[in-house]
Amino acid sequence: MIEAGVKLAETRRRVRECEAFALQLKLGHDLKDGAILTSLTEQPFEMSFKCSRCGVTLWFEDKGSQRWRLHAESREHGAQICLGRPADDSSGQRLCGAVTSSVHR
């Protein structure tokens, strides 16, 4: 169990060192550790990181040889500049209400 934990921490470090991860930091995201998917051999092959500012979750996938890339499903989020935390939650809800109430003829 302890060995698996060490392996995960090691993999976290590798992901944080890769180019795809560095790019997200440049876009302003503040990524915190999230969920990990491992194979049967307990080798991590997908890892998620959550931005503490805008709340977006980005997945990274193992492309082999310790190279990690942004997962295809996360690319549309990952290509965007961090929008930061909304000023307050109620304004975010008001915005959602405006969107849902915008009627089509």
Residues lying near Zn ion in the complex (CB under 5 A): 29, 51, 53-54, 82
Residue 103 Cβ vs Zn ion, minimum distance, rounded to whole Å: 31
CB-wise, 8 or 18, nearer to Zn ion? 18
- By beta-carbon proximity to Zn ion, the closer residue of 8 and 54 is 54
Residue at token pair 């060995």 = 3
Smallest separation (angstroms) from Zn ion to the CB of 41: 32
Measured CA distances, 67 to 1, 2, 53 (Å): 25, 24, 26
Distance of closest approach, residue 28 Cβ to Zn ion, in angstroms: 6
Would strands 31-38 and 68-70 be described as parallel, antiparallel, or unpaired? Answer: unpaired
Backbone angles phi, psi at 45, to 5 degrees: -125, -15
Give me the least distance between CB of 71 and Zn ion, in Å please: 16
Shorter beta-carbon distance to Zn ion: residue 32 or 67: 32
Task: Measure Cα distances from 5 to 38, 61, 82 in Å.
Answer: 12, 19, 30
Taking the least distance from each CB to Zn ion, the nearer of 12 and 77 is 77
